[in-house]
Every structure is written in structure tokens, then in C-alpha cells.
Chains A and B, each alone.
Chain A
Amino acid sequence: MTILLLFFEFFQAGLFAVGGGLATLPFILKMMEKYPEWFGTLQLADITAIAESTPGPIGVNAATFAGYSAAGVPGAITATFAVILPSFIIISLIARALQKYRDSRLVCDVFAGLRPAVTGLIAAACWSVMRSAFIAGTLSDGFFQMFSWKGVALFAVLFTLLQLPKTKDVHPIFYILAGAAAGILLGL
């Protein structure tokens, strides 16, 4: 029974959470109020923290986590598939239509406007990751203490390496692993 409810609730979250992973969190918050027994002592903050720091889509990670705490491994699998099913169905339909109308003048005009705007959206996402990586305290700690200077320095080094002709083609996976190693060594 719990499995069915989990499927229903996460299917709904997948269907109505527009705008990416973090948009699923309000739905999980609502589930916490509706079915407190699913989550035990678990807080939304735990779900967010695990979802953001494990690899993978945040909405999927959050669903797996919540599903597991509600009903173990079957719950985790149910919640995960329920959350991705609506987008899978919708995108499958859109992809087919897109292939058909790709070269039409209207579609080209729309995308000519979308590409620069989405570049701006990605820049905004980058900005928010940078803020969470660089800001270590609040202004009341003092202006200098507010920032994680080791983080800023590491960013400067990695970003420079990503521009240099010799190192810019190193695989992104290597940069991620280097970031983890530097984090441990520097005690970020």
C-alpha cells in the first residue's frame, strides 16, 4: 500500500515540478506533512544535503532518499521511477514533434531567442554555485571572514587551468576528482 502511495505522490511531484530538481523539494515537504511516518526523524535539510552532494539529478536523488526512508529498497526504486516517468513520457512526445518541425521558421526564431537567454540562466546557476562555494559566514563575522578564501583560490586555479590550451581539454571528471582531493588537503 505504501508503495502505491509512494508511486502516486512522486508521480505527481514529477508531473508538476517544473524548473528542475530543487522544484521537487516543496512537494517532498508537503509529503512530510501528509505522511510523517514515512520520514521518521528525517529532516528536509538532510534530504537536500544528500541530494545535492551525491552525483546525479537532485530531484531523483531526493526521491530515492525519501522513498528509501519510507519503504526500504522497493520504496527507493518506486519513488525514483515515479518521479522520472512523467517527464520521460512528455519529452518522448515533444522530441518527436521537435524533429518534425525543427527547420520551420517559427521554431528557428524561437530558438534564436532561447539560446542567449538560456546562457544567462546557466550563468545564474553558476553564480549560485559560486556563492555557496565562496561564502563561509555572514557579514557579522566581518567582511574578510565572510569568504572562504581557500575556495576562492582553488576556483581561480581550476578556472585558469580550464582556459590554458594545454590543460583545458583534460576531462571534467579529472577536475571533479582534483577538486575533492584539494578539498581534503586544504581543509576547505
Chain B
Amino acid sequence: MKNLLKLYLTFLKIGAFMFGGGYSMLPLLERELIERLGWTTEEELLDYFALAQCTPGVIAVNTATFIGQKRGGFWGGAMATLGVITIPLLLVIVIVSALMRFWHLPAVTNAFDGIRVAVAALIAAAVVRLARSNVKNLFGIVLCVLGFIAIAVFGQSPIVVVLGAAVAGLVAGRIRR
């Protein structure tokens, strides 16, 4: 029971501060789940992101369900998922029903532009950390660079990258043995 409540509250906090969707939760997940609670590892987080990427639905919800399931079974997954959507759900309703006319005030748009820059800096720092711990050999560098180029230059779907990398991993494993 205490475990479920903790899951809910942790994901409530993450949901309240993840601006910009899926990947922006990464720095928050690292801080809360790896450093503060020790519930998971960097490798495992990346595994969840990879799976969340090629299963249907919203990445953040998929990741929350994965981590919740691991910590507390079915109800753990349910609590983590509810946690991550609670504040966004309430905020969107409040904004749409009452605050729409403040939406275009310069101070509001400036604040959101500032948040976008902060999110960019946080994700960039996370990418540096991830690259250090997960891109260790030539095989890793090639996959990482190809993944980046496929999305950023050629606008491919992330599913293509994930499936391609899975096949590459299988082939490399076979060659190694």
C-alpha cells in the first residue's frame, strides 16, 4: 500500500514538470528513480524507452506503466500511470476552461520559451551522460550516429530505428560467439 502511494506520488511529481512530452521526462526519471530511490538503472531506463518507442501509445505513459509494473505488479503500473497523467489532466482542463485568454500574454509565452531552453539543456546533459555509459565501442557509435541521422536528417520513424538496432544487436551477438 505504501509502495503504491510512493509510486503514485513520484510519478505525480514527474508528470507535473515534464514539459515537451516523452523524452523530457528522462532527466526527471534519472533524478527520481535512479539517484533518489534507486529503483532502476540507466540501462533499464533505456530499455523501457526503446520498448515504449515501438509499442503504441504515449511514450511517457508506456514508461510509467513499465516501471510501475516492475515495482508493484498490475496495481503498481496503474498507480504510476495515473500519477503521470493527474496534473496534466487537471491543468489542461483549467487552462482551456479559464485561462485561455491569458495564453497569449507576452510574459506567458516568454516563460514557456525559457522552459523550452531549459528542457533542451537538461536533455542535452542527459544525452552526454547516456552516451558515456551506453556508447562504448565502434558498434555502439555507429548505431548511435545512424539513429540520430535517421531521425534528425531523414525524418524516419523511430520504429524503423528500434527494429533496425534490434536486428543489428542480434547479428552482432551471433558473430561474437
Residues of A within 8 A of B (CB): 14-22, 24, 50-61, 64-65, 68-69, 73, 76-77, 80, 83-84, 86-88, 90-92, 94-96, 98-99, 105-106, 108-130, 132-133, 148, 151, 154-155, 158-159, 162-163, 168, 171-173, 175-176, 178-184, 186-188
For the complex, what is the distance from the CA of A127 to the CA of B113, rounded to whole Å?
16
Complex interface: chain B residues within 8 A of A116 (CB): 134-135, 139-141, 143-144, 147, 165
A20–B22 CB distance below 8 A: yes
B65–A113 CB distance below 8 A: no
Q: Other than the known A55-B19, A115-B140, A120-B147, what 9 A-B pairs have Cβ atoms closer than 8 Å?
A: A17-B58, A58-B21, A80-B85, A83-B58, A94-B55, A110-B170, A117-B144, A120-B148, A154-B118
B7 beta carbon closer than 8 Å to chain A: no
Given A116-B144, A123-B127; A56-B164 close (CB under 8 Å): no
B119 beta carbon closer than 8 Å to chain A: yes
Complex interface: chain B residues within 8 A of A18 (CB): 54-57, 157, 159
What's the count of A-B pairs with C-beta under 8 Å?
Answer: 377
B114–A179 CB distance below 8 A: yes
Query: Closest 9 interchain pairs by CB?
Result: A183-B114, A113-B169, A56-B88, A87-B57, A179-B118, A120-B147, A109-B173, A117-B165, A124-B151
- Which residue from A98, A109, A172, A176 sits with its C-beta under 8 Å from B172? A109
B89 beta carbon closer than 8 Å to chain A: yes
B40 beta carbon closer than 8 Å to chain A: no
Interface size, B (range): 35 or more
Residues of B within 8 A of A (CB): 13, 15-24, 26-28, 31, 43, 46-47, 49-62, 65-66, 69-70, 74, 77-78, 81, 84-85, 87-89, 91-93, 95-97, 103, 106-107, 110-128, 130-131, 134-135, 139-141, 143-152, 157-159, 161-162, 164-170, 172-174
